[in-house]
Amino acid sequence: MNNFSRSLARTAVAGALAAVAVAVAAPAASAAARDGKCDNNEFCYYWANSSTVSLSDFASSLKNYGETQPSCYEYRTPGTLGYGECIKNNAVRACNLRSKPVRVYFNSDHKGTYDTIPAETCTLLDNTLFNNASHLFL
């Protein structure tokens, strides 16, 4: 095989490999709300003050968490403390991985005393510790 043929063969193989790489490249992963993982652009409650307990993650505001299973929003991290428990009146810590604040309310329908969780912050709840019923993305 002469140099021209080798060069042509390499170019063809390189082009084919590039095409395959583009075809199989997966798009970047995006946050999947309600999957038990606190991802970028989500707001999350933690069952206790630890990163090893169950959490409940949200991608939007919510007016009412519900009080009992099967109609409540629950902690979603399998195999951890708090998994499956309703989050209403049962949260200790919150993480806001959004670029804007989130307000946690004592009552449903975004009413009553509240805690404001700044953007990109994790904190213990204060006014709504074990008394959380709704949250609002500001």
CA distances from 5 to 1, 8, 10, 12, 91 (A): 6, 5, 9, 10, 69
Domain count, the chain: 1
CATH of the domain at 124: 2.60.20.10
Closest CA to 125 of 99, 98, 88: 88
Task: Evaluate whether residue 96 is within a structural domain.
Answer: yes
Indicate the pLDDT class of residue 29, thresholds 50, 70 and 90: very low
Predicted local confidence at residue 119, as pLDDT? 98
Task: Evaluate whether residue 5 is within a structural domain.
Answer: no
Task: Evaluate whether residue 21 is within a structural domain.
Answer: no
Identify the domain containing residue 73 by its residue range.
Answer: 29-138
Task: Evaluate whether residue 103 is within a structural domain.
Answer: yes
> How much is the mean pLDDT over the chain?
83
Task: Evaluate whether residue 70 is within a structural domain.
Answer: yes
Task: Evaluate whether residue 9 is within a structural domain.
Answer: no
Task: Evaluate whether residue 79 is within a structural domain.
Answer: yes
Q: What's the pLDDT tens digit per position in 31-69?
A: 577 899 999 999 999 999 987 899 999 999 999 999 998
**Average pLDDT in the 14-34 region?**
45
